[in-house]
Structure 1
Amino acid sequence: MSKRLVLSSDHAAIALRQAIASHAATLGWEVVDIGPTTPESTHYPLHGKAAAERVASGECDLGIILCGTGQGIMMAANKVPGIRCGVCSDTFSARMIRQHNDANMLSIGARVVGEGLALEIAEAFLAAEFEGGRHATRVAMIEG
């Protein structure tokens, strides 16, 4: 895996997204941060879709997206064919969505978790690998 990671957020999560971008870079990831960079109100569906398109096209291997709760931006990302994105507020779930669901994107709520936990969640997601086996059958069912 080439380790290319796209990050995006809405206005509510700029600082946390930038902290995750810096942390991912220290873990050896090439970070593609597609913004935004200014605090004016933005539309999370546009940011979720833009990041998801980069993952779905193969331009990036994985993606991390953020908004206030992580829910809305995740819903937008999951509309892009080939994307499997989950919202996680703990490290166990972040690891499991990679290992069992072959998630290629993670969503985090900037108003739900603090920076320290968010960095741990991102690291758990990025370090995990899909286990395949019986899980591959189930992921194929999700893909329809």
Structure 2
Amino acid sequence: MKIALIIENSQAAKNSIVHDALTSVAEPLGHEVHHYGMYTPEDAAHLTYNMNGILSGILLNSGAADFVVTGCGTGMGSMLACNAMPGVFCGLVIDPTDAFLFAQINDGNAIAMPYAKGFGWAAELNLQDCYRKLFEGESGVGYPKERAAVMKKNRGILADMKKVTCHDMLTVLKNVDQEMLKTAISGERFAEYFYPNCQDDAIADYLRSL
């Protein structure tokens, strides 16, 4: 699985803590981690949580990533921005129980985490435990198991509902604020990770045109 990490501007100073926690768990499980920034608070590509939402939509809808890990001070802004995008199902994950239940019940493709609120002593251990609950086993199995069929049905209903309420991603890209979009894809390693992994030529062509 290709996991995309996106760090929001206000929490860019914690980049190494988050990145190290994620790679220490995900890579031994056979997953790839593609870090789309921010890398330092001084990065030229200054990503807000709204840009994180757009970037998540681009990566997931194009097939360049299978899962997105992002966040902000509380995680809520990034979660809302991600869920505004077509095909993105983002949960707010604060602790390992959240991570386990989100993976088993909701089987989403993105999480937003708080990297300021409650981010204290041994925060990296909480991050690692959350990532293990997300990535070490099969998602969508259901919890409790006897409700798995009902949960799967409800996930399908939500996916169908989102198709009705959201435009396709290419339409979103053409109509969203273009300067914000340009900044969202201006990270120093965006082209390196995105274009070789993108599976949607129309999205790739439009982004190149910018």
Bucket of the pairwise TM-score, normalised by the shorter protein: 0.7 to 0.9
CA RMSD of the aligned region, Å? 1.8
Q: Deviations over 1:52-91 (max 9, x none)?
A: 3212322211111121111111111111111111111111
Q: Deviations over 1:73-131 (max 9, x none)?
A: 11111111111111111111111111111111111111134111011111211124112
Q: Which has the higher helix share?
A: 2
Amino acid at match of 1:18: H
For residues 77 and 17 of structure 1, the distance between their equivalents in structure 2, rounded to whole angstroms, comes to 19
CA shift in 2, pair 1:52/1:116, >3 Å: farther
Equivalent-residue separation in structure 2 for 1:16 and 1:70 (angstroms): 16
Q: Please, which of 79, 87, 92 is the counterpart of residue 82 of structure 1?
A: 87
Q: CA deviation at 1:48?
A: 2.9
> Given the superposition, is the C-alpha separation of residues 45 and 20 from structure 1 closer, same or farther in structure 2, using an over 3 Å criterion?
farther
Q: Partner residue of 2:6? A: 8
TM-score scaled by structure 2? 0.62
- Looking at structure 2, the residues matched to 10 and 95 of structure 1 have their Cα atoms a distance apart, in angstroms, of 24
Q: Give the TM-score taking structure 1 as reference length.
A: 0.87
Q: Name the CA shift for 1:57/1:20 in 2 (closer, same or farther; >3 Å).
A: farther
Matches of 1:42 and 1:58, distance apart in 2: 21
Aligned residues: 142
Structure 1: tracts of 5 or more residues without a match: none
Show the 5 A alignment for 1:1-144.
3-11=1-9, 12=11, 13-23=14-24, 24-40=26-42, 42-111=47-116, 112-113=118-119, 114-128=123-137, 129-131=139-141, 133-143=149-159, 144=161
Q: d(CA) in 2 for partners of 1:119 and 1:36? A: 20
Runs of 4+ aligned residues of structure 1 deviating over 6 Å after TM superposition are none
Q: Percent identity?
A: 24
In proportion to residue count, which structure has more strand? 1
